[in-house]
Amino acid sequence: MAPSSTQPTPTARPRKARGEGQWALGHREPLNPNERTKKDDNPLHVRDRIENIYAHRGFASIDPADLRGRFRWWGLYTQRKAGIDGGRTAVLEPEELEDEYFMLRVRIDGGALSLAQLRTIADISREFGRDSADITDRQNIQLHWIRIEDVPEIWRRLEAVGLQTTEACGDCPRVVLGSPVAGISTDEVLDATPAIDEILKRYIGDPRYSNLPRKFKTTIGWLVDTPYQANDVSFVGVVHPEYGPGFDLWVGGGLSTNPRLAERLGTWVPLAEIPDVWEGVVGIFRDYGYRRLRHRARLKFLLADWGTAKFREVLEKEYLGRALIDGPSPDLPEKPIDHIGVHKQRDGLNYVGATPVVGRSSGTQLAQLADVVERHGSERVRLTPYQKLLVLDVADDQVESLVAGLRGIGLEARPSAWRRGTMACTGIEYCKLAIVETKALGEGLVSRLEQRLSDFDVDISVHINGCPNACARTQVADIGLKGQLVMDANGRQVEGFQVHLGGGLGMAKGETAGFGRKLRGLKTTADELPGYVERLATNYLADRSSAEESFA
C-alpha cells in the first residue's frame, strides 16, 4: 500500500492536449533546444570528438552544442569568467559568461576512495587544475581550471585507477550516493554496495539511459545517512517481518525550484533486485517524464501528477512484469547523520569523520590526506554527502595521532558546531548560474562564529547557495540561504540571500520531513549575513527553554 502524503507539492496542472513531451505517449515534437541537442547526437559520442579533435585543436574548435550541452555527459562544464558580477548572470550570453577553462566532476559512487585513487585526483588537481579540489554534497570531487587539451590524459589517469567522469553531469543517471559507512557500520544489517556496483556496471554509460528528460539522482544504502528524500530514487534499509532485510523504495524527490520530497511506494525490495527496480524507475522517467518544458522535466513533476499508486502500478505492470512485495516503513533518524568524530566499526577498528570548511579542499590537501591515512595504517577514505570525509580501519592506538594529523592538514574531526554544519555550493567563483559568492563567505562565517560563539553547543545546519537552484539544499537546513540580489541600506543592489528557517531532513520517527519556512521579506545582504546568523543563534540560546525540538 502506498502511504498518503502530507508534504507540500507542486500544483498539478491540467494535462494539456499537446502533451508534456512524453515519449511513451508519442509526444516527441516540438523539441526544446536541450532535447534537440540530445536527439541530434547521443551526448556520450562527444568523448570521441574531445579525444580526437577538440583536445588537439583547442577551445575555439569546439561546437557550441557540444560545449554547452553534450560535454556535461562527461563531467565537463565551462566555468564562469572571473569578475562578472551576479547582476549580469541572467543578461549575458553564454559565451560572454564562460572562460576557456572547465570544471571537471569526478563521480565517486558511494563516496569510496582508495589511496591510489585519492593520490591520482590530487596529482591531477596539482598538475592540471591549479590545485583546486572541492568535495561536493553528492560525494563527488570537482576540479577547476581544466584545459580541453588535458582532458584525455586526465581520463587516462582516472580510469587507470577505476575512477570516471562518465555521466557525472547531464540528463542521465548521476553519481549514486551510498552510505559512507557501508560494510563497516555496527548499525548496518545489509551492505548495499553490491547493488551500487551492479548499477554502475550495467547502466552507467549505457546509451539506453543516456537521454533522460533531465538529471536523475539516486541514493542506495542501509543507513539513512544520505539525503534520501532529495533524490529521484532512493533505497533505504528496512527489515520485513516475513522476508527479512531489504530496502524501502522512495521516488520523486528533488529540491531546486518547486522542491518536493520523495515519497514511499510502500514496497520491500530485496538487495539482489535493486538494479532491476532501479532500471524500471529510470525507464519510467525516460519514457513518461516531461520533456517539453525544461523546468518541469524532473521526475517529481510526473509523480505529482500520477501519485504513488499509479507510479507503482506502471512500474510493476509495464517495467517489471510482476508485483512488488508490500513493505513496512523504515526507522528514520531524528536528525541527519554526518559521521563526524571517532566511531567503532563492527570489526573492532574505528572510523574517523573529519571536515574541511564548506567542502573546500585542494590537491595538496588530498595528497597530504593520503599520506596521513597511510601512516596510520588505513587504505580507505569515504566522502559524505555533507562535504565531509571519513578515514576507515583505524586501530585504537592510532586514533588520537590520526586526529592530530588530520588537524595538521586542515581537516577537523572535532569541529565546532558551525564548521560541522555549514555547507556551501560552488557559487560565483566558478558557476555560470550563480548570483552571489558562497565559499569564501562560508569560510568567513564559520571563522567569525567560531570566535564569537565558541560555546554554541547545538547541532545546526547552515546551507549557503549561490542561486535558487539549491545545489547545497537550501530548503532542508536550519538556516537555508538562497543567493539573490538585495537592496542594502543605501538602496544599492548588492549580493544577499533570501532566508529559509527551520528545515532539515531530520525527522521524528515515521514522520515526513519538512521544508524550511521561507520567511516572507526576510533577506540579508552578504555583508550582514554573519551578524544576522550570530543574532539568530544568540537569541536561540537565550530562549532555549521555550525552543522546540529544532533550531529556529
The residues of the shown chain that bind ligand SF4, judged by CB under 6 A, are 425-427, 431, 433-434, 465-467, 469-471
Residue 479's identity, in one-letter code, is I
- Distance of closest approach, residue 234 Cβ to ligand SF4, in angstroms: 21
The angle at the Cα of 454, spanning 453 to 457, to the nearest 5 degrees, equals 90
Long-range contacts formed by 123-127: CB under 8 A, 24+ apart: 123/157, 123/363, 123/367, 124/154, 124/157, 124/158, 124/363, 125/362, 125/363, 125/366, 126/363, 126/364, 126/367
C-alpha cell at 418: 558551525
- Distance of closest approach, residue 280 Cβ to ligand SF4, in angstroms: 29
C-alpha cell at 245: 532485510
- Distance of closest approach, residue 93 Cβ to ligand SF4, in angstroms: 18
When the beta carbons of 354 and 431 are compared against ligand SF4, the nearer one is 431
Distance in angstroms (rounded) separating the CA atoms of residues 56 and 49: 10
C-alpha cell at 335: 536528525
Please tell me whether residue 297 adopts helix, strand or coil conformation.
coil
- Distance of closest approach, residue 443 Cβ to ligand SF4, in angstroms: 16
The total number of residues written for the chain in this structure: 552
- Distance of closest approach, residue 253 Cβ to ligand SF4, in angstroms: 17
- Distance of closest approach, residue 533 Cβ to ligand SF4, in angstroms: 19
Distance in angstroms (rounded) separating the CA atoms of residues 381 and 158: 17
Position of minimal CB gap to ligand SF4: 466
When the beta carbons of 246 and 253 are compared against ligand SF4, the nearer one is 253
Distance in angstroms (rounded) separating the CA atoms of residues 113 and 265: 32
C-alpha cell at 134: 572541492
When the beta carbons of 283 and 427 are compared against ligand SF4, the nearer one is 427
Q: Provide, for the chain, the percentages of residues in helix, strand and coil under a 3-state DSSP scheme, each rounded to the nearest 5.
A: 35, 25, 40
Secondary structure E strands in 137-275: 141-146, 173-178, 216-221, 233-240, 244-251, 263-269
Largest distance between two CA atoms of the chain? 69
When the beta carbons of 104 and 223 are compared against ligand SF4, the nearer one is 104
- Distance of closest approach, residue 217 Cβ to ligand SF4, in angstroms: 14
The neighbour count for residue 440, using CB atoms within 10 Å, is 15
Distance in angstroms (rounded) separating the CA atoms of residues 416 and 464: 18
When the beta carbons of 274 and 358 are compared against ligand SF4, the nearer one is 358
- Distance of closest approach, residue 195 Cβ to ligand SF4, in angstroms: 28
When the beta carbons of 265 and 472 are compared against ligand SF4, the nearer one is 472
Residue 274's identity, in one-letter code, is I
- Distance of closest approach, residue 384 Cβ to ligand SF4, in angstroms: 18
Please tell me whether residue 76 adopts helix, strand or coil conformation.
strand
- Distance of closest approach, residue 465 Cβ to ligand SF4, in angstroms: 4
When the beta carbons of 343 and 523 are compared against ligand SF4, the nearer one is 523
When the beta carbons of 421 and 442 are compared against ligand SF4, the nearer one is 442
C-alpha cell at 5: 502524503
When the beta carbons of 138 and 380 are compared against ligand SF4, the nearer one is 138
C-alpha cell at 243: 522476508
Q: Which of 473, 478, 530, 537 is nearest to 503 (CA)?
A: 478
- Distance of closest approach, residue 95 Cβ to ligand SF4, in angstroms: 18
When the beta carbons of 184 and 467 are compared against ligand SF4, the nearer one is 467
What value does the CA radius of gyration of the chain take, rounded to a whole number of Å? 23
CA 487 to each of CA 71, 89, 439: distance values in angstroms, whole numbers, following the listed order: 37, 17, 22
Contact, 292 vs 302, CB < 8 A? no
Residue with cell 568535495: 135
- Distance of closest approach, residue 546 Cβ to ligand SF4, in angstroms: 34
Please tell me whether residue 220 adopts helix, strand or coil conformation.
strand
When the beta carbons of 299 and 433 are compared against ligand SF4, the nearer one is 433
Residue with cell 512485495: 325
CA 220 to each of CA 180, 199, 226, 320, 352: distance values in angstroms, whole numbers, following the listed order: 11, 11, 8, 19, 22
- Distance of closest approach, residue 16 Cβ to ligand SF4, in angstroms: 29
When the beta carbons of 245 and 444 are compared against ligand SF4, the nearer one is 444
When the beta carbons of 114 and 469 are compared against ligand SF4, the nearer one is 469
